[in-house]
């Protein structure tokens, strides 16, 4: 009953979304650390978003509060106007394969721009297909992360360019997996026949997707770059994870709610705010603080598999922590 | 009487700030290893040197350094096992931790302590005074197989690590055949007379950095561009000073996490470089 109610809220919200949220109409890429920290602000789970979990009498918010909403079907959104879509020549998954092949003909700097551009194009081609929701989400995030880490790369530019090209490649490969094989998303998901978004979201756990994406960011946050870019990447990870868990249809189940509360308290805690404040002042965060943030993020990630398992949520194959 | 009052007043003014320093307003200098070559040995052994540790600053963050631990006769042996570390101060700057760097399956270089809570790290114990070994390396979580190693600064010139060769071009050869040729940001490693593997040299931490990442590359003749792969295959550094001649160290990951095979190539003698780029010979 509760699930049905939340589901109705999801669909109501989908119907009321502003069309301007499409990837192409997003904000300009940041040019300074201040822009980066501002973008992190918008990712933190707000009190309104989790009010019903913190206070049992509060109404559940209209779901979801995440970038997921950008990739859900929108009213009046017919087939895209791109030539590929009109001709039906390429599916989104095929376009990813083509992009991965073509990227090797560009040097690193151009390769990043090429993949970012392709991500937007593929999202457009994918349109409103419910089964490609995670594909769109992954590509959208790959562009977001790439755009928010590069500006604070400091003196590491050549190396970070390579790192980001590698990051985009892995995102495209992950997205291709979601596009080619919806079964990979959940063994309970039966392909064939028409599936609507509600059906998809019932079968596929967005929380489990959040775990998969968090493990990808977690690996990249261990690289040999500066503490500030590591901190930004960890904060991004927490932001996405919070959004994903909060957007899951089972968010009121205790194992998922516990993770939401863990993330909420970390994001609103002194440590997180101190690191954010230091970066906002244009300074490098303290090594000890970044280490603490990493350790606490690890604790949250470590608990997730057992929690999802207790809800019988099947792990997406291939994602190791 | 008046003097005592002034002293009291001064002490009351100074006291809060003194307390502040002790309670987290960390202005004290953190423990740090100066860049240079260090000799490392098992504590109970004689004076002979078993390992060398090369330390240089990490450009991106002033509090950290990078280090290579390798066998003392690595240059003579050509292929040996080595380990790479990021050195960071821990425990409020009172001690140093050597964190192994490892290459992962995605082709990125990872600081292992950031992915594991029990990474095999080395802790440095510093002893004040005049000792045979002012530093003692102590393995934690299984590092160094539980041995204690003594370390002291070597009586050598301070080496410089560079991601590029000092003169733009670098060649090394044995028995007349070229093993390695570095030209700008391209590294060709040969077996016999075949230049069969080409890598792109990407500085790890900027042009002033110390290490370079090697990624496989190929020359697209139609697109007229050198195209590199995103995944790091190997690491490299050019060591100038301390090791007789400029030496190129290439690190290839082995099957053991955090362990690298070190190939050390010394700059070829001037006569051999001439052999590589011969001038016109007088037929007479």
Give per-residue pLDDT as tens, A252-268.
Answer: 899 999 999 999 999 99
Asked if A155 lies within 8 A of B86 by C-beta distance, the reply is: no
B141 shares its domain with B177: no
Comparing C-alpha atoms, which of A297, B59, A219 is closest to residue A289?
Answer: A297
Supply the pLDDT for residue A263.
96
What is the pLDDT confidence band of residue A66, given thresholds at 50, 70 and 90? Answer: confident
Chain B residues with beta carbon closer than 8 angstroms to that of A158: 202-203, 206-207
φ/ψ (deg, to 5) at B170: -145, 135
- 3-state SS string for B83-105: EEEEEEEECCCCEEEEEEEEECC
Residues B133 and B177 placed together within one structural domain of the fold: no
For residue A64, cis peptide bond before it (omega within 30 degrees of 0): yes
Catalogue the long-range contacts made by A278-285 (C-beta closer than 8 Å, 24 or more residues apart). Answer: A279/A33, A279/A36, A279/A37, A279/A228, A279/A231, A279/A232, A280/A33, A280/A34, A280/A37, A282/A33, A282/A34, A284/A226, A284/A227, A284/A228, A284/B61, A285/A227, A285/A228, A285/A231
| Chain B interface disruption, residue of A114, A153, A162, A166, most B CBs within 10 A | A162
Buried b (16+ CB within 10 A) or exposed e, A44-58: bbeeebbebbeeeee
Q: What is the mean pLDDT of residues A198-216?
A: 86
Lowest-pLDDT choice from A22-26, A184-188, B135-139: A22-26
Taking the Cβ of residue A35 and every Cβ of chain B, the question of whether any pair is shorter than 8 Å is answered with no
Residue-wise pLDDT tens digits, B237-270: 998 877 778 899 999 999 888 899 998 888 876 6
Do B60 and A220 lie within an 8 Å CB cutoff? no
> The whole model's pTM is what?
0.81
Q: How many helices (H) and strands (E) does chain A have?
A: 14, 0
DSSP structural state of residue B279: -
Residues B165, B267 share a domain: yes
B137 touches B43 (CB < 8 A): no
Cβ contact, residue pair B61, A227, below 8 Å: yes
Q: Do B86 and A224 touch (CB under 8 A)?
A: yes
In a domain, residue A202? The reply is yes
CB of B226 closer than 8 Å to CB of B186: yes
Answer yes or no: do B106 and A294 touch at CB < 8 A: no
Residues B246 and B221 in one domain: yes
Which A residues in the span 88-107 are in contact with B, Cβ-Cβ below 8 Å?
Answer: 104-107
Give the residues across from B137 on adjacent strands.
Answer: B124, B149
Inter-residue contact B206 to B219 (CB < 8 Å)? no
Question: Are B100 and B208 within one domain?
Answer: no
Q: Which residues of B touch A227 (CB under 8 A)?
A: 61
Residue B12 in this model has a pLDDT that exceeds 50: no
Which structural domain, as residue segments, surrounds residue A133? 29-70+88-310
B6 belongs to a structural domain: no
A173 CB neighbours in chain B (<8 A) are: none
Place A10 in a pLDDT band, splitting at 50, 70 and 90. very low
CB contact under 8 Å between A104 and B107, yes or no, is no
Least confident of A185-194, A231-240, B12-21: B12-21
pLDDT at position A225 over 60: yes
Same domain assignment for residues B233 and B165? yes
Q: In Å, what is the CA distance from A103 to each residue of A98, A120, A170, B41?
A: 9, 15, 13, 48
Average pLDDT, chain A: 77
Q: Which residues from chain A sit within 8 angstroms of residue B31, using beta carbons? A: none
Backbone angles phi, psi at A277, to 5 degrees: -60, -40
Q: What is the C-alpha separation between A58 and A315, in angstroms, rounded?
A: 31
Give the pLDDT confidence score for residue A100 in this predicted structure: 93
Mean pLDDT for the stretch of residues A134-140: 92
Q: Around Cβ A175, how many Cβ atoms within 10 Å?
A: 28
Residue B200 has pLDDT above 60, yes or no: yes
Give the rounded percent of residues in chain A with a pLDDT score beyond 70: 72
pLDDT tens-digit profile of B35-68?
889 999 887 766 667 899 998 887 767 778 889 9
Rounded Cα distance between B146 and B49, Å, is 19
- pLDDT of the residue at A28: 42
A276 lies in a domain?
yes
Cβ atoms B110, A223 nearer than 8 A: yes
According to the model, what pLDDT value does residue A16 have? 34
Cβ contacts of residue A231 below 8 Å, gap of 6+?
A275, A279, A285, A289, A290, A293
- Say what angle helices A157-180 and A92-102 make with each other, to 10 degrees: 150
Give the residue from B153, B170, B188 where a domain finishes: B153
Q: Which helix (H) or strand (E) holds A308?
A: helix A287-310
Supply the pLDDT for residue A14: 38
Percentage of residues in chain A having pLDDT higher than 90: 33
CA distances from A90 to A105, A162, A172, B72, B240 (A): 21, 29, 16, 58, 54
Domain, as residue range, for B227? 160-276
Q: What is the mean pLDDT of residues A95-118?
A: 90
Same structural domain for residues B109 and B52? yes
Look at residue B121 in the predicted model and tell me its pLDDT: 94
Cβ-defined contact of B205 to A224 (cutoff 8 Å): yes
Say if residue A291's pLDDT is above 90: yes
Query: For residue B236, what are the β-bridge partners?
Result: B212, B250
In whole angstroms, what is the distance from residue A39 CA to residue A59 CA? 27
Helix (H, G, I), strand (E, B) or coil at A302: helix
- Over 80: is that where the pLDDT of B15 sits? no
> A294 with A221: CB under 8 angstroms?
yes
Per the CB < 8 Å rule, is A107 touching B108?
no
- Total number of domains in chain B: 2
The DSSP call for residue A22 is: S
Same domain, B111 and B218: no
Question: Does a structural domain hold residue A4?
Answer: no
Percent of chain B with pLDDT over 70: 77
Same domain, yes or no, for B101 and B81?
A: yes
Q: What is the rounded distance in angstroms from the CA atom of residue A85 to the CA atom of residue B276? A: 57
- At residue B282, the pLDDT reads 56
Residues of A in contact with B215 (CB under 8 A): 162
Given B101, B126, B153, the domain boundary residue is B153
Say what the pLDDT of residue A190 is. 47
Q: How many domains does chain A have?
A: 1
Q: Could you tell me which residue, A73 or A193, shows the higher pLDDT? A: A73
Contacts of B61 in chain A (CB under 8 A): 226-227, 284, 287
B228 belongs to a structural domain: yes
Sign of CA dihedral A285, A235, B117, B151: negative
CB contacts of A320 in chain B (<8 Å) are: none
Q: Is A2 a domain residue?
A: no
Among residues B153, B182, B202, the one where a domain terminates is: B153
DSSP result, A168-230: HHHHHHHHHHHHH-GGGT-TTPPPSS---HHHHHHHS-HHHHHHHHHHHHHHHTTBSS-HHHH
Residues B43 and B107 in one domain: yes
What is the rounded distance in angstroms from the CA atom of residue A179 to the CA atom of residue A173? 10
Cβ contact, residue pair B110, A219, below 8 Å = yes
Most B CBs within 10 Å, among A108, A156, A214, A222, to test the B interface: A222
Q: Which residue of A has its CA nearest to B110?
A: A223
Judged by CB atoms closer than 8 Å, whether chains meet at B111 and A222 is answered as: yes
Asked whether residue B60 falls in the same domain as residue B142, the answer is: yes
User: Do B224 and B230 contact (CB within 8 A), yes or no?
Assistant: no
Query: Do B149 and B166 have their domain in common?
Result: no
pLDDT band at A81 (very low <50, low <70, confident <90, very high): low
């Amino acid at each position: 009953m509760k699930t049905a109610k939340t589901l109705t809220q999801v669909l109501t919200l989908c119907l009321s979304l502003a069309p301007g949220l499409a990837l192409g109409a997003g904000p300009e890429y940041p040019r300074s650390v201040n822009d980066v920290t501002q973008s992190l602000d918008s990712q933190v789970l707000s009190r309104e978003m989790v009010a019903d979990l913190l206070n049992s009498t509060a109404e559940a918010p209209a779901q979801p509060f995440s970038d997921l909403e950008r990739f859900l079907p929108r009213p009046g959104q017919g087939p895209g106007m791109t030539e590929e879509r009109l001709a039906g020549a390429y599916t989104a998954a095929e376009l990813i394969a083509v992009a991965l092949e073509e990227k090797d003909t560009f040097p690193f700097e151009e390769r990043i721009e090429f993949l970012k551009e392709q991500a937007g194009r593929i999202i457009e081609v994918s349109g409103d297909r419910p089964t490609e929701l995670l594909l769109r989400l992954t590509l959208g995030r790959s562009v977001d992360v790439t755009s928010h880490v590069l500006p604070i790369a400091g003196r590491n530019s050549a190396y970070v360019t390579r790192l980001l090209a590698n990051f985009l490649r892995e995102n495209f490969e992950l997205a291709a997996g979601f596009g080619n094989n919806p079964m990979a998303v959940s063994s309970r998901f039966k392909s064939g026949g028409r599936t609507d978004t509600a059906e998809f979201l019932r079968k596929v756990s967005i929380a489990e997707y959040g775990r998969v994406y968090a493990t990808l960011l977690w690996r990249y946050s261990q690289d040999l770059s500066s503490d500030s870019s590591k901190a930004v990447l960890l904060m991004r990870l927490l932001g996405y994870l919070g959004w994903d868990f909060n957007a899951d249809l089972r968010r009121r189940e205790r194992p998922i709610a516990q993770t939401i509360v863990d993330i909420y308290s970390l994001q609103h805690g002194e440590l997180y705010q101190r690191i954010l404040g230091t970066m906002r002042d244009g300074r490098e965060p303290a090594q000890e603080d970044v280490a603490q943030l990493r350790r606490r993020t690890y604790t949250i990630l470590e608990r997730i598999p057992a929690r999802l398992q207790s809800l019988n949520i099947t792990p997406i194959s291939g994602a190791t922590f | 009487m008046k003097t005592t009052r002034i002293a009291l007043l001064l002490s009351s003014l100074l006291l809060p700030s003194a307390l502040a320093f002790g309670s987290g307003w960390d202005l004290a200098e953190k423990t740090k290893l100066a860049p240079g070559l260090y000799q490392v040995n098992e504590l109970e052994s004689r004076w002979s040197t078993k390992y060398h540790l090369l330390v240089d600053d990490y450009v991106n963050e002033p509090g950290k350094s990078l280090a290579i631990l390798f066998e003392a006769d690595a240059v003579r042996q050509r292929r040996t096992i080595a380990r790479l570390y990021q050195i960071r101060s821990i425990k409020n700057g009172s001690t140093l931790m050597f964190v192994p760097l490892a290459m992962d399956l995605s082709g990125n270089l990872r600081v292992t302590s950031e992915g594991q809570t029990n990474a095999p790290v080395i802790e440095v114990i510093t002893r004040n005074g005049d000792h045979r070994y002012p530093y003692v390396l102590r393995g934690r979580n299984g590092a160094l197989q539980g041995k204690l190693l003594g370390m002291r600064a070597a009586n050598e010139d301070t080496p410089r690590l560079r991601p590029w060769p000092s003169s733009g071009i670098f060649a090394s050869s044995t028995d007349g055949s070229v093993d390695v040729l570095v030209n700008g940001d391209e590294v060709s490693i040969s077996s016999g007379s075949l230049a069969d593997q080409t890598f792109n040299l990407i500085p790890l931490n900027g042009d002033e950095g110390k290490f370079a990442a090697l990624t496989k590359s190929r020359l697209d003749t139609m697109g007229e561009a050198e195209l590199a792969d995103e995944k790091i295959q190997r690491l490299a550094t050019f060591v100038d000073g301390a090791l007789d001649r400029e030496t190129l160290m290439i690190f290839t990951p082995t099957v053991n996490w955090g362990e690298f095979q070190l190939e050390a190539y010394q700059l070829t003698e001037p006569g051999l470089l001439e052999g590589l780029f011969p001038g016109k010979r007088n037929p007479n």
